Each structure stands twice: as structure tokens, then as C-alpha cells.
Amino acid sequence: MFRRMRFNSSNISLKRPTAVGATDFLRRNDRMAALLPAIERMARLQKDCADCLPAMFKHCEILAFEDSQLILSVPTTALAAKLKQQLPKLQDTLARRGWQVAAVKLKVQMTKAVEIKEKMRALELPPAAVEAFDQLSSSLEASPQNSQLIDAVKAMVARRRAGGG
């Protein structure tokens, strides 16, 4: 049933395994080699999905593709909601690439504590802009309608001058 595999320098490596090494291993084993076309098909589908929606799809994975139904794993409900809005675009793009996707189902599967939220860039105002906002807060008419705006602009100027963002 199972053949013993001798370990020698040609079939074991102390280096980190690579995709090429994995496919070579699969090709050498008859039973595993039968899985290779399915694995390659899923890899092509994953790539086509990522090409269509690169920002969203970098955190998603294909769980299954059977009977024209694509099942995707998403890490959060927020990402699932965003992705759901993009499903028509995804299905259209995949159809143009030869994939027959009649339906897409999303499954929220929490992953390890991975930082999914992309870093927001820090907004910096040059000193001239901070000075202009300071002048604006002084020049606005002191009225009930403007009081909250004046307070907000003064607070922003104070934060920027203190270096707190």
C-alpha cells in the first residue's frame, strides 16, 4: 500500500520548502500526482480572482469550486460585506477568463490574529496651512452657528502646533 521512502540528500532538504519542491514531490507519488491538476486549477482560479480584486482578495481563499459554485473564505464580516458588493464584477471577470461561476458563496472564517487593516497614512499640514487655519478661526464671525466650527479649528491648530497630529 505505502512504499517506504529512503531519506537521502536528493529527497530531503533542510531549506524552506518551496512550491516547486512540493509539486516535484506530488509528481513522484502516483496517488498524489492525480491531485496535481486539481491543485493547479485552484491555483489558477485563485490568481484570476486576485487579479480581479487585488486589494480585497489578498485576505481571501478559495475553499471549493464545484458545480459552478465558488465558495470563498473571508476573514471578517466587514470584508465579506465589501466583497459581496464586488461579486458581479468578479463573476464577469472570471467568465471572460473561461470560468463558469454561476454562484459565489462567502464563508466568514476567522484566522489567526493577522493585521488586515491597512495602515492609514498620516496627514501632515505644513506650518503655513496651520497658520492659515489659525487666522481662519480668528476671522470667523462669532455666532452660534460658527461656534462649534471655531472651537474645532482652534483645537486642530493647537494639536498641530503641539505636534500631536
| More confident position, 16 or 63 | 63
Closest CA to 66 of 95, 24, 103: 103
Give me the pLDDT at residue 33, please: 76
Q: What is the pLDDT of residues 11-22, one digit of tens each?
A: 444 445 566 677
Give me the pLDDT at residue 6, please: 45
Instruction: Assign 98 a pLDDT band (cuts: 50, 70, 90).
Output: very high
| pTM for the full predicted model | 0.51
Q: What is the CA radius of gyration of the chain?
A: 27
Give me the pLDDT at residue 162, please: 83
